[in-house]
């Protein structure tokens, strides 16, 4: 009888030990999966930061290239196909939002939202939209451009005398009274921080007050 009790006790102890080992193994697997998730998340953050740094370097290059560049007195058309000279619609501290039909739709949507913020800071009358490569009918009928139709023009050819048409990202430039670039903003893929800096610069320059 005592022998049976000892055997049963040993089996119980074995079962308990196996249960503990299985639990530890499961916990170890969970910890492993958790660690793998953290590593993946960290790798994504690093990739995102590397992309931002690369974008930032490229944007700095574009800004250097734009420094003191002048807007050409190009021929533009409004959405009624009426031709005008670009200089005739620009004034002191005018802001040009430039975009073309090769830019991604999500990028344009993001910057059109940014324009609403810009409008609140500098006023609608100080903002000109220049579109390149779009058909007029598309700009007339697409909902996302309806708010800006009276400020929207199409362009064929170069916008600037040296830099031509900026980067291949939606861009915003502030001009001085001599039609020279005072400062510029170029859209970045994974952050809107540089747009916030651009807006703060406009506020510090009191652009709205100067143009009223």
> What's the CATH number where 116 sits?
3.40.30.10
Question: Do 51 and 116 reside in the same domain of the chain?
Answer: no
- Domain range for residue 128? 70-211
Kindly tell me if the per-residue pLDDT of 209 is higher than 50.
no
Q: Are β-strands 83-85 and 75-77 bridged in parallel, bridged antiparallel, or unpaired?
A: antiparallel
Kindly tell me if the per-residue pLDDT of 4 is higher than 60.
no
pLDDT, tens digit, 9 for 90 and up, residues 13-61: 555 565 565 666 666 666 555 655 665 665 556 555 555 555 555 566 5
Judge if pTM exceeds 0.85. Answer: no
Whether 92 and 123 have beta carbons less than 8 Å apart is answered as no
Kindly tell me if the per-residue pLDDT of 202 is higher than 60.
yes
Cβ-proximal residues to 127 (8 Å cutoff; 6+ apart), any chain: 94, 95, 97, 115, 118, 119, 148, 151
How many domains does the chain contain in total? 2
pLDDT, tens digit, 9 for 90 and up, residues 121-135: 999 999 999 998 888
Question: Do 34 and 94 reside in the same domain of the chain?
Answer: no
Question: Do 58 and 78 reside in the same domain of the chain?
Answer: no
Q: Work out the angle between the directed axes of helices 105-122 and 193-204 (0-180°, nearest 10).
A: 20
Q: Is 129 exposed, middle or buried (0-12, 13-18, 19+ CB in 10 A)?
A: buried
């Amino acid at each position: 009888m005592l022998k049976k009790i000892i055997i049963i006790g040993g089996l119980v102890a074995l079962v308990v030990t196996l249960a503990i080992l299985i639990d530890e193994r499961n916990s170890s697997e969970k910890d492993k999966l958790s660690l793998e998730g953290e590593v993946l998340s960290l790798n994504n953050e690093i990739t995102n930061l590397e992309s931002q740094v690369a974008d930032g370097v490229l944007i700095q290059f574009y800004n250097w290239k734009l420094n003191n560049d002048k807007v050409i007195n190009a021929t533009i058309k409004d959405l009624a196909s009426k031709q005008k000279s670009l200089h005739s619609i620009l004034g002191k501290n005018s802001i040009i939002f430039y975009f073309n039909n090769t830019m991604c739709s999500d990028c344009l949507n993001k910057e059109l939202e940014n324009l609403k913020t810009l409008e609140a800071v500098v006023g609608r009358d100080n903002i000109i939209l220049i579109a390149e490569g779009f058909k007029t009918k598309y700009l007339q009928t697409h909902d996302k451009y309806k708010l800006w139709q009276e400020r929207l023009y199409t362009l064929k050819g170069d916008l600037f005398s040296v830099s031509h048409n900026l980067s291949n990202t939606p861009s915003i430039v502030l001009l001085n009274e001599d039609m020279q670039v005072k400062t510029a903003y170029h859209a970045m893929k994974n952050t809107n921080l540089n747009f916030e800096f651009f807006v703060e610069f406009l506020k510090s320059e009191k652009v709205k007050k100067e143009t009223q």
